[in-house]
Each structure stands twice: as C-alpha cells, then as structure tokens.
Amino acid sequence: MTIHSKSNDLLATSNVLLESYVALVSADQNRAHGIFSTFESQTHAKYDQQSTNNILPASIGEIALSLLDRTYKSQFASDTVARDFIRSLMDHNIVPALTINPVTNAIARQAFVESLQGTPNRYVYVNGVLQPSQSVMIGMDFINFLQNESNLIAIEERIDLNLAKMIYTYAVSKTLLKTADICTSMTLEAIRGETSAFDSRLHELGRPYPGQIATARNIRRLIEQSELTTEEARIAFGGDAGPRCQDAISIRAVPQTHGAVRDAHAWLGEVISGELEFAPRKASPITGYAVDLLAIALIDLGSMSERRTARLLDSKTSYGLPMNLMDENPGFNHGFPVIQAAASAILAEMKLKAPKGYGQSRFNQITGQYNSFELESCNRLLELLPLLRKILAIEAYMSAQAMDLCKKKLTGNAVGLGTRSALSKIREYISLVRENRFASKDMAVAEMIVEYGLLVRAVEDNIGQLD
C-alpha cells in the first residue's frame, strides 16, 4: 500500500472539506457563545472567567480527529478496531484538548493520546465543555484500545496536529479579516469618511488583486445607505475646513492592505487544500512558508487597526469628534487614551513575534538531522491570533463610541446597513462610556464579541455573507 497515494475522491473534495472545517470552527464559536449566554450577568462573565490560556479551542482537536478518521478510511480501512475507537470518540462528542506549549511534534502527539487515556493534568472537551480527562475517560470501555502499545503508536504516528492547527488558524483568520472590515466601516462612518477610496473601479480595473476587490466590496456593502459618509454630513457636522478630498492611509488604503492580507490568507487556503488531497498528507515545508506569510500579513492588519484607533482619539484627525472620545465633563472624565495605548502595546507584542532568522527547515547540530519548523510556525500564528483579536476588539469598542458621539450631532443621518447591525450588537453588551469606568471589563467583553464571531454574525444576518 502506498501511504501517500492521492485519491481522486480526496482531490475533488479538498476545497469543500476545508470549507466544512471552517464551518466547524464557526459552529464551535457559536457553541462557546451558547455556553457563555447562560451566565446570569452576560456582560461581564467573560471577564470573570478563569484563564485557560494554554488550552486551545475544541475545534482544533475536533479537526484533528476528523483528519485521523479520514486517514483510516482512506488508507487503513481494514483496521476496524481503530476506526471504531475514533467513531466512539466522535459519537460521545469527546475531543482531546490541545495546548499551545512549544513542544516537539512527538510530545504534542503524545499529549493528544494522553488526553484520551485519562492521564492526570490532561483535558478533553465533552460537548464543547472543558473537563479533566481523568474524570471523563476512566471507565470508558473503548479506551482499552489504547492499552495496546501498537495501537497507541499507530494513532500517534497518524494524527496530524499541525494540519488541524493550520486549518483552525485559517478559519479564525477569515473571521478576523471580516471583523477588520467591519471595524474599518464603523471608524469610516464615525469620521464621516470619504468613500471614493472604495469605488469598485479603483480595484476591479485599477489594481485587480482578488483580496483588494473583496475588501472594497465588503466596505461598500457595510456602509450602504450610510448618510454619514457624505459631503452633506461633513458640512453639517462641521469638522472639516473644506472638501475632504481623501482620508489618511489607515482608512483609504484598507482595500490595498486588508486586501493583501486576504491574498496571503488565500494562499494558505490553497496550500492547505493541496495538503488535504492526501490522507495522510506528505508534509511539505511549504505549509510553514504559507503560515509565516500570513503571520506577517496579520501583524500588518493589526497595525492598520491600531492606527485607526489613534485617529479616533484626536479631534483634529477625527474631524471634530470630542478629544479622547469623551464629550461629558472632559478632563474629569478621561476617555480612551490608555485604551488606545493598549492596542499599541499589543501591536508591539505582535511585531516581536514576526518571523525572523529561521524558515522552515534547519540542520540541527544536536540531533544531526534536518528539523521542520512547521509546528513552531503554527504555534506562532496561534499566539498572534488572540493578540490581533484584542486590537480589533479595541477598535470595535472605540469606533462604537465614536459612532454614537457622531450620531449625537447628526441625529437625522442614517447609519450604514451593515454597520448599524454591528453597532447594535456592541451596544447589547457595552454601553456608551459617559464617565470614568473600569475599562478592562469593557475590553474583555469587546474581545468576546470578536472572538465568538458575534459581530460578523450580526452583520451577516442583516446583509448576507461578507467576502
């Protein structure tokens, strides 16, 4: 039997499969939110949650199990015992909980198996709820399968945790890309921005990169029917000295920059689809290159968002919004400067994690072998995503404040079709800041709104799927 033989069936379905995994991650976010919404005090529950920083979301383990199941179906169909074992886990909705600790591939695989064996200090998700593995797995008949040394070794050899992590990061990045477009649209409306920069012709005729075209389309749809992004609104608000002409780079270059991030993201999708054509796949360093390129691009996405929040703070660059986004008793009430500085600080952390010095394969002086760094690249991206999420959460928080302050003055002007849903969703959880209040809790809730995809879902429920 050829382990790495390509099946036509797999080839035809790899793109579909990737999209199904993206849907799985989204469903997992939904489920996580469902658990959250049962809390008595919704708004600050997230803040009070105990940290489980090192434990990765259930969907990564779920994808890893699905990939393992696929490998057995494709290449080891006669091993019905192993297939029954995997099926039993799936039927019981048990998913190993993985950690982000920087370990070797061998240790990561071992940890995966240990979480199924009921080893102390390992965890599993049951129906999406994190539980100590010991309390769940001990006593389950089907884990006897792992008592057999050869079974255990086979599972360890065939599990593909890196590919599962890559698929997860691809899915989460997709949500964050949409979130970034939503945040941009809110900021754009709050500063009564100029919309010519999103004219389809600039992108479809002028510089037709696929990501750029998609980003501009998203923004146009989000602000459709907006009466804030008009010359009339600018005049009525009184923040401009004359015709706006064009906005600063962090606003008007969004199609080009977010678009380039989308193109990097699309390349990772292509590479993953290529890997999914094999089950198991023949690991290639190209996955690491695609993950590293996306890491660079996502840091740039964070940089754009941080710059937009900086503009919102300053009356001059926000075209007349209250300084520090605080209109009531300013001076006594401090507003958002330190919240914005938090975005700058988090961005600096992202920059420190940028790929540098080492690529995807290196001769190891200690082992005398070439080492792949796919694991390290995947883990780096897993560390970057929560940082980016926080920066975008700060922009969502600040742009909602800015929009409401803008609307105070322009009461009769309609808000965009998509942005009105986004603003309403934020206001379900976070009220307008009118006085000095505990920022950290608001920021944690804003992060939750981004993390669980609530902002994207609220918009898409209203205007349909974003690109």
Phi and psi at 239, nearest 5°, equal -95, -10
Instruction: Give min distance, CB of 383 to other proteins, in A.
Output: 14
Instruction: Give min distance, CB of 41 to other proteins, in A.
Output: 38
Token readout for 10 is 């797999």
Q: Residue 362: beta bridge partners? A: 371
Q: Which residues of this chain interact with other proteins, rule CB under 8 A?
A: 194, 196-199, 201-203, 205-209, 241-243, 245-246, 248-250, 252-253, 255-257, 259-260, 263-264, 267, 283-286, 288-289, 292-293, 296-297, 299-300, 303-304, 307, 310-311, 317, 350-351, 354-363, 369-370
| Of 256 and 273, CB closest to other proteins | 256
* CA 444 – CA 423 distance, rounded (Å): 17
Q: At what angle do helices 80-91 and 58-75 cross, to 10 degrees?
A: 150
| Of 267 and 429, CB closest to other proteins | 267
| Of 206 and 330, CB closest to other proteins | 206
* CA 288 – CA 267 distance, rounded (Å): 12
Instruction: Give min distance, CB of 196 to other proteins, in A.
Output: 5
Pairing state between β 129-132 and 123-126:
antiparallel
Amino acid identity, position 68: L
| Of 58 and 310, CB closest to other proteins | 310
Q: For residue 141, how many other CB atoms are within 10 A of its CB?
A: 7
**Rounded to a whole number, what is the distance in angstroms from the first to the last CA of the chain?**
41
Instruction: Give min distance, CB of 8 to other proteins, in A.
Output: 22
Q: Is omega for the bond preceding 355 within 30 degrees of 0, making it cis?
A: no
* CA 28 – CA 431 distance, rounded (Å): 27
Token readout for 357 is 């010095």
Q: Exposure pattern of 45-68 as b/e (b: 16+ CB <10 Å)?
A: bbbeeeeeeebbbbbbbbbbbbbb
Instruction: Give min distance, CB of 49 to other proteins, in A.
Output: 31
| Of 167 and 312, CB closest to other proteins | 312
| Of 39 and 370, CB closest to other proteins | 370
Q: Residue 370: beta bridge partners? A: 363
| Of 82 and 385, CB closest to other proteins | 385
* CA 232 – CA 246 distance, rounded (Å): 15
Instruction: Give min distance, CB of 336 to other proteins, in A.
Output: 17
Token readout for 270 is 């292509």
Rg of the chain on CA atoms, in Å: 24
| Of 7 and 364, CB closest to other proteins | 364
Token readout for 216 is 């501009």
Instruction: Give min distance, CB of 294 to other proteins, in A.
Output: 9
Assess contact for 63 and 168: CB atoms under 8 A.
yes
| Of 205 and 338, CB closest to other proteins | 205
Instruction: Give min distance, CB of 244 to other proteins, in A.
Output: 8
* CA 308 – CA 187 distance, rounded (Å): 7
Instruction: Give min distance, CB of 378 to other proteins, in A.
Output: 15
Instruction: Give min distance, CB of 247 to other proteins, in A.
Output: 9
